[in-house]
């Protein structure tokens, strides 16, 4: 069967499962009152919204991948699917009954260690980043552990407004899918396109749903974060069987460009919280998407800006990688990413200063002292003093000058 048929099959099955499952999940959620209760940080402030869209996403990815990989050696992804089940169950527990940050991290540590030690999903070569190429097991373990837990939480953190997690997730899975296909890694490509199909279907309900709106919840974001962490390691460890083999030495910079939005946002938000003496898991409104909403006033517009920015940096990377090299491109991406993240903050600070200056001006205009002066200094439109019959001519001129210069 042609490769394109496998990819179309994986995308279509996943899309259809999610598309038809979500209305059923919404019905059950409404009946069982499984909602995301609105608060000051919620995507919806007016309505209670079901937050179990991750059930449909997980089902679509899992079933589609198993069907599409019929006839392939699925041992390569058995460990991945098992880890996804654990993340799915953790997210389901959090969405329905709540789960502490400590227990989440403990579960993620267990999954990361399992993937590294049992499934051997880990970095073995940094392709020149910081002058490092092949690395020993200890450093490999540390970097892989940090990457897996970091990406899981990074994707979980950006799931804050309508369309953002689905939009960024679609970009990530599509990028990895096409690159895996280009380099002859069909099994990985099939999994990636299964993720894409699930997220495209979910996006319509999450963004455009009225009576059938739904969130993915931690059930979805944790599962997707785990899959994207694994895809990132696979991509960096890939030995191309076709395509441009020299791109192998550029893999870290390319994977950073693919993951740049969740990576930059998570590093930025955790740094802010720690600098304020708070837990890195304490909620706030300092995310990049929160700053963009203050400017756009619209969730979808903010999400589109972030997705387009991510896509733009990916194209920039492909254009410059062979000129700048892996390490320089990696550092340039981080510099651009953090600089771009500060732009909406700067705009909001500037707008806030303008508002404050306007308020001060209004207060000055309406202060009691000003009102007293105004009564004494009222002038006609032609500039003559209303109190001209009771004031000497010298006083009238002085009053006129003061009024004009105020």
- Average pLDDT value for the chain: 86
Confidence of residue 250 (pLDDT cuts 50, 70, 90): low
Distances (CA, A) of 141 to 65, 117, 146: 28, 8, 9
pLDDT at 62: 94
193-217 average pLDDT score: 95
Distance of alpha carbon 187 from its chain centroid, rounded?
A: 26
- What's the pLDDT score for residue 317? 93
Q: How far apart are CA 47 and CA 64, in angstroms?
A: 32
Let me know: does 48 contact 36? Beta carbons within 8 Å. Answer: yes
Please state the rounded mean pLDDT for residues 353-368.
82
Q: Residue 76: is its pLDDT beyond 80? A: no
**153 vs 378, which has greater pLDDT?**
153
pLDDT of 248 strictly over 60: no
Angle (CA) 299-304-310 rounded to 5° is: 130
Q: Averaged over 251-273, what is the pLDDT?
A: 95
pLDDT at 247 over 90: no
Count of helix runs (H) and strand runs (E) in the chain: 15, 2
pTM value is 0.85
Inter-residue long-range contacts of 296-301, CB under 8 Å, 24+ positions, other chains counted = 299/43, 299/161, 299/162, 299/163, 299/164, 299/207, 300/162, 300/163, 300/207
pLDDT at 245 over 70: no
Average pLDDT over every residue of 160-170:
96
Top pLDDT among 306 and 380 is at: 306
Six-digit token string for 401 = 């000058």
Q: What is the pLDDT of residue 369?
A: 56
Which pLDDT score is estimated for 273? 94
* Cβ neighbours around 329 below 10 Å, total: 23
């Amino acid at each position: 069967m042609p490769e394109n048929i496998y990819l179309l099959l994986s995308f279509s099955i996943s899309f259809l499962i999610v598309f038809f499952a979500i209305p059923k999940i919404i019905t059950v959620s409404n009946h069982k009152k499984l909602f995301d209760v609105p608060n000051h940080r919620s995507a919806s402030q007016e309505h209670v919204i079901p937050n179990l869209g991750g059930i449909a996403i997980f089902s679509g990815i899992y079933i589609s991948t198993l069907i599409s990989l019929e006839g392939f050696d699925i041992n390569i992804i058995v460990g991945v699917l098992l880890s996804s089940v654990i993340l799915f169950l953790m997210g389901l527990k959090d969405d329905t009954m709540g789960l502490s940050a400590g227990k989440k991290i403990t579960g993620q540590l267990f999954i990361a260690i399992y993937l590294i030690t049992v499934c051997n999903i880990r970095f073995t070569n940094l392709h020149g980043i910081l002058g490092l190429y092949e690395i020993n097991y200890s450093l490999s373990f540390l970097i892989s552990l940090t990457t897996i837990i970091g990406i899981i939480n990074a994707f979980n953190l950006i799931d804050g407004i309508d369309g953002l997690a689905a939009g960024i997730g679609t970009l990530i899975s599509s990028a990895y899918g096409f690159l895996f296909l280009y380099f002859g890694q069909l099994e990985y490509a099939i999994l990636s396109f299964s993720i894409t199909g699930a997220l495209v279907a979910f996006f319509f309900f999450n963004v455009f749903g009225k009576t059938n709106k739904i969130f993915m919840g931690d059930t979805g974001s944790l599962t997707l974060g785990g899959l994207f962490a694994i895809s990132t390691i696979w991509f960096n460890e890939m030995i191309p069987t076709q395509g441009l083999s020299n791109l192998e030495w550029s893999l870290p910079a390319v994977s950073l460009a693919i993951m740049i939005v969740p990576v930059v946002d998570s590093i930025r938000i955790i740094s802010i919280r720690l600098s304020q003496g708070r837990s890195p898991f304490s909620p706030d409104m300092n995310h990049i998407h929160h700053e963009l909403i203050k400017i756009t006033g619209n969730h979808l517009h903010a999400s589109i800006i972030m997705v387009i920015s991510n896509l733009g940096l990916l194209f920039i990377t492909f254009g410059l990688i062979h000129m700048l090299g892996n390490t320089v491109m990696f550092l340039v991406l981080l510099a651009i990413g953090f600089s771009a993240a500060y732009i909406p903050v700067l705009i909001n600070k500037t707008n806030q200063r303008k508002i404050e200056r306007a308020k001060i001006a209004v207060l000055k205009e309406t202060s009691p002292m000003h009102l007293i002066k105004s009564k004494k200094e009222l002038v006609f439109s032609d500039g003559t003093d209303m109190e001209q019959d009771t004031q000497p001519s010298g006083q009238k001129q002085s009053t006129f000058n003061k009024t004009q210069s105020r």
